[in-house]
Amino acid sequence: MLNLFELKKQQKAALDKAEALLGANDHVMTAAENENYTAAMAEHDSIATSVAAREKMNTMRSTFGTMPTVETEQVNSERPAYLTRKYRSALASWLKQRDHSAVSADLMVGADDLGGFRFAANYEGGSTSGAPLFQTAPVDTNLIALAPPEMGIQKLALVIPTVMDLPMSRKKAHGTAATKAEGTGNGSNVFTGTSPQTEKFTLSAYMIGHPEDASWELLQDVNTFQQFLVDDILLSIAVLKENAWWNGNADGIQGIKGNTATGVTGITAVSSSFYAPLLDATFDVMADLNVYYYPNAAFLMNRATAVGLRKAQKTANLFEPVFTRVGGQDFLHGFPVEYSAAVDSATAATNVPVVFGDFKKGYVIGERGGSGVNVKILDQPKALEGLLTVLGYQRVDGKIRRSEALQPIVLA
């Protein structure tokens, strides 16, 4: 099933095709051009219906304001019960309560085992145009939104829901064949070779979360502030996860940096013209990636690195520009470029400013119970101070799935 981003790309492609048939001066079309134009517009309208239906499924947009949807890959395509309209309405009513004691049957379908309720926050992923990943501004105009950092790793990676620790196997080495002489009947000229080697790793789940306090006075005077708190918690958890996907953490999440293949090394970080050799290295890193991974390959980098590469391209006056932008999507050597603020941007030794490869085959993210971020309202611990605590939490893990699928450029 295509995700929302891919549907919109197809929709735009159909519209571009129709516009191209019209021509710059809206010339009179031939019968064949008119037929192709009609087919392109019919395709555009058909996809528009699918896009509209998909956008209505975004719980966070319906409950807490406009947020663009970037779907994660799911093992089970069955729609969760906590994505229904009844659940969203029950959740909104529960949040508005002063003591949060009345829990309806409709709300219980999203309950977890810890006394919280799930927010179906399908905000994971990145923006191809450089726009914020999702809006955090509440309706109240007194609260001005702060743009979030760019996050693209979760969009690129394979994301699966888990219900328990998931053992995963991968091939460590190929089996090898060998030639043999013609058999003589004495048992000496037999087939030989080696068997393939496999290894295992476990996709587990580690708790992450963020509590935020608000005074009763503020919640009473600003009706939308509780929604603002929840949005900010979702953002803080997303930022924490993005950094963990890149750098790893002490709990056991394995980051991309330092756990990929060798890639390209030896680029001197202290060079006065650092981005010129880095641009050359983007050619070399493509040779390091097995062509098997090319169909879904992409570049991952910090946006500051992309700006430096584009400037180096301009300085080099390349006959054929290798860094291009088409329809709001950046491409390097014809492969899409995704951005993450977690990726190294400083030109320091051992930094990894660029990774190229198939991230779905290279990195797997497990979300215990699905992509929803759970929320718990704690109205008792700080009641004597007149404070309400909103706690968001989720259990996640990230592991390198196939290191050879990700080829980095490592600075010296």
pLDDT score of 127 more than 50 = no
- Contacts for 94 with CB less than 8 Å, ≥ 6 apart: 100, 102, 103, 104, 107, 117, 377
Integer Cα distance of 18 and 113 in angstroms? 52
Nearest CA-CA partner of 105 in 113, 96, 94: 94
Question: What value, to the nearest 5°, has the Cα angle with vertex 298 and ends 171 and 350?
Answer: 80
Cα dihedral 260/284/341/365 (nearest 10): -30
Residues 6+ apart with CB under 8 A from 52: none
Confidence of residue 52 (pLDDT cuts 50, 70, 90): low
pLDDT at 74: 38
Least confident of 20-34, 265-279, 294-308: 20-34
DSSP 27: P
Give the pLDDT mean for 266-270: 82
Grade residue 130 by pLDDT with cuts at 50, 70 and 90.
very low
- The enclosing H or E element of 171 equals strand 166-173
pLDDT of residue 60: 36
Whether 135 contacts 141, CB under 8 Å:
no
Residue 275 tokens read as 């981005």
Q: What is the pTM of this model?
A: 0.68
DSSP letter at 24 equals T
Average pLDDT for 288-316:
94
d(CA 54, CA 83): 12
Any idea how long the chain is? 412
88 Cβ neighbours under 8 A, 6+ residues apart: 59, 62, 63
Is the pLDDT confidence value at 59 over 70? no
Give the residue extent of every domain in the chain: 1-15+33-56, 58-169+205-412, 170-201
Neighbours of 146 (CB within 10 A): 10
SS3 (DSSP) at 256: coil
Half-sphere exposure of 93 (CA within 13 A, CB side): 14
CA 298 → CA 56, 72, 98, distances in Å?
Answer: 29, 17, 48
Query: Is the pLDDT reported for residue 338 higher than 70?
Result: yes
pLDDT at 23 > cutoff 70: no
Asked if 381 and 120 count as a contact pair (C-beta separation under 8 A), the reply is no
**Per-residue pLDDT reduced to its tens digit, 194-212:** 999 999 999 999 999 999 9
Residue corresponding to tokens 């969009």: 155
Residue 246 has pLDDT above 80, yes or no: yes
State the chain's mean pLDDT as an integer: 81
State how far the Cα of 371 lies from the Cα of 160, in Å rounded to an integer.
8
Kindly state the average pLDDT of the residues 232-253.
95
Calpha distance 165→159 (Å, rounded): 15
How many whole angstroms separate alpha carbon 16 and alpha carbon 45? 13
Spatial distance between the Cα atoms of 201 and 170, rounded to a whole number of angstroms: 8
CA–CA dist 398, 156 (Å, integer):
13
Identity of residue 18: A
Instruction: Provide the terminal-to-terminal Cα distance of the chain, rounded to the nearest Å.
Output: 42
| For range 224-232, the mean pLDDT | 80
Output 1 or 294, whichever has higher pLDDT.
294
Q: Burial of 368 by CB count in 10 Å (0-12 exposed, 13-18 middle, 19+ buried)?
A: buried
Q: At residue 353, what is the residue type?
A: P
Rounded Cα gap, residues 71 and 396, in angstroms: 17
How far apart, in whole angstroms, are the C-alpha atoms of residue 150 and residue 186? 68
Sign of CA dihedral 72, 302, 403, 406: positive
pLDDT the model gives residue 17:
82
Q: 89 near 106, Cβ under 8 Å?
A: yes
At 194, which helix (H) or strand (E)? Answer: strand 193-194
Contact (Cβ atoms closer than 8 angstroms) between residue 289 and residue 297: yes
133-147, 229-243, 254-268, 368-382: least confident range: 133-147
